[in-house]
Amino acid sequence: MNGKLSMRRVNGTLGAMRAGPATLAKRASGPGGRAAFGVRAQASNTDETMGFKTMRKGVKEASDETLLTPRFYTTDFDEMEQLFSKEFNPNINMDEFDACLNEFRNDYNRIHFVRNDTFKKAAENIDGETRKIFVEFLERSCTAEFSGFLLYKELGRRLKKTNPVVAEIFSLMSRDEARHAGFLNKALSDFNLSLDLGFMTKNRSYTFFKPKFIFYATYLSEKIGYWRYITIYRTLQQNPDNQLYPIFEYFENWCQDENRHGDFFSALLKSQPQFLNDWQSDLWCRFFCLSVYITMYLNDHQRTVFYETVGLNTREFNQHVIIETNRTTQRIFSSVPDVENPKFFEKLDKLVDLNAKVIEAGKQGNAVEKFLSIGKMAVIILSFFFMKPLKTGSYTFEEESEEGGEVALQY
């Protein structure tokens, strides 16, 4: 999973992060004339923790869990076993899963995640608020990738008997996510901090989702992760001066992993038509799209300095990623929000303003203002469900005829 800036796995729900004092050192403008921040000629703060809490020397305490932070997931594994049992589920198309398995066995990125000596030096040159934001970005991303690793690994273990092909795919996806998380954790160590992933495995709380919701959420997180990585990669390719740290050079192949993971979830969803063919699935599909898009939009707008640093306009970047993810998602979800209706982003922008007010009111201890702003946010979030959605998906239905004919279901 991705996300993931927590580049992929789309991370939970709404929360807060403080924007610290602007001690940003400007550097020369990039090719677009935009000033980038936070880089100084020589490093000096390599042994500081930048105010982050540490468990022990060099090991960062995981950030508090909020509605917006990446989560660890668990599910009903017995139900999962039934869903992938050919005995219980006649819709399983093993040809498609066999093809997926061959792709994963090819292991295209086996030698992709190899570091070089430019990493440490680049990290040493990142300073001040930008350095802090980089650490937060790496931590969120690492946690999100590791969350995918844990879930896929367990699914690989639990489905071995029922469906060895699907089980092996999950295990190979957990291989990919372990690589991604490990690469990010190694990057954190360039900033003299790292995460104790073993400790987190045992001590972080796990959010329970029924299998159906795991499918919606992971499909979206993989696809949105793909669009985030590839957009950042392409932007930096055009403006290489903005690449403060070499991790972004790896995003092109990295995002192909996320794309393959998403395609596998698409095949999984097709094998479970009961999750895509009624009014409840329409609602849930939209609910998950909205949760993921809103969460990303609010999260990223609290970290605009990070995106500006790598040469992105946070708003444009987010809108592009949401539109592309939604276009991809409508090939499989039975309903998606109409994000290309101009009102959609108007509402999201209002949420950003209100979220800023909630954070400000929290800092000032103004409970009334905070409560009022949260109330206004809730009204806007609810209003998304009253916007005309798009009826989408791979399935087409013929309504049951008056003579009592059968419902036809086809790809």
Amino acid at 42: Q
The CB-of-411 to Fe ion minimum distance in angstroms stands at 25
The CB-of-347 to Fe ion minimum distance in angstroms stands at 29
The CB-of-172 to Fe ion minimum distance in angstroms stands at 11
User: Rounded to whole angstroms, what are the CA distances from 225 to 42, 80, 253, 266?
Assistant: 33, 24, 13, 15
Residues 6 or more apart in contact with residue 325 via CB below 8 angstroms: 220, 223, 224, 227, 292, 293
Does residue 187 belong to the site contacting Fe ion (CB under 5 A)?
no
Could you tell me which stretch among 65-73, 175-183, 232-240, 373-381 binds Fe ion (CB under 5 A)? 175-183
User: Rounded to whole angstroms, what are the CA distances from 235 to 125, 225, 305?
Assistant: 21, 15, 16
Site size for Fe ion (CB under 5 A): 8
Residue closer to Fe ion by CB (options 258, 324) is: 258
Q: Which of 180, 228, 270, 303 binds Fe ion (CB under 5 A)?
A: 180
Does residue 145 belong to the site contacting Fe ion (CB under 5 A)?
yes
Burial class (CB in 10 A: 0-12, 13-18, 19+), 158: middle
CA distance 35 to 27: 6
The CB-of-199 to Fe ion minimum distance in angstroms stands at 21
* Contact string (CB under 5 A) for Fe ion, positions 209-238, x = contact: -------------x----------------
State phi, psi for 44 to the nearest 5 degrees.
Answer: -150, -10
Residue closer to Fe ion by CB (options 136, 258) is: 258
Nearest to 353 by CA among 378, 379, 373: 373
Residue 150 corresponds to which tokens in the numbers above?
């844990």
Report the site for Fe ion in 246-265 (rule: CB under 5 A). Answer: 258, 261
Report the site for Fe ion in 305-344 (rule: CB under 5 A). Answer: none
Burial class (CB in 10 A: 0-12, 13-18, 19+), 182: middle
Residue closer to Fe ion by CB (options 258, 300) is: 258
Q: Which of 1, 101, 166, 352 binds Fe ion (CB under 5 A)?
A: 1
Does residue 282 belong to the site contacting Fe ion (CB under 5 A)?
no
The CB-of-226 to Fe ion minimum distance in angstroms stands at 9
- Residues in touch with Fe ion (CB under 5 A): 1-2, 145, 177, 180, 222, 258, 261
